[in-house]
């Protein structure tokens, strides 16, 4: 989870992801940020995230992002 928060902080250092319960609803990340995060996750965890999984619900918390990485074959 810490690695995901670190990636999010790299993308948007001005936001406090630890205190948010929904990154998208709270306006912490947008669609461009999600694409950037997907690229970072795919590179770090040597995975390929299926296009069908690129939905807001998979990117609104660190837990959901971690679950997406696991679902995509990543070891997190």
Please check the confidence at residue 4 and state whether its pLDDT lies above 90: yes
Which tokens in the block code for residue 62? 């660190």
- Do you know the residue count of the chain? 76
CATH class (in words) of the domain with range 2-71: mainly alpha
pLDDT tens column, 37-62: 999 999 999 999 999 999 999 999 99
With helix as H, strand as E and coil as C, how does the chain read?
CHHHHHHHHHHCCCCCHHHCCCCCCCCCCCHHHHHHHHHHHHHHHCCCCCHHHCCHHHHCCHHHHHHHHHHCCCCC
Domain positions in the chain are 2-71
pLDDT tens column, 5-32: 999 999 999 999 999 999 999 999 999 9
**What pTM did the predictor assign?**
0.95
């Amino acid at each position: 989870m810490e690695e995901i928060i670190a990636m999010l902080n790299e993308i948007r250092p001005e936001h406090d992801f630890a205190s948010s319960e929904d990154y998208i609803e709270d306006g912490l990340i947008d669609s461009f940020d999600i694409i950037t995060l997907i690229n970072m996750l795919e590179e770090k965890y040597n995975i390929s995230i299926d296009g069908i999984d690129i939905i807001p619900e998979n990117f609104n918390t660190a837990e959901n992002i971690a679950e997406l990485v696991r679902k995509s074959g990543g070891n997190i």
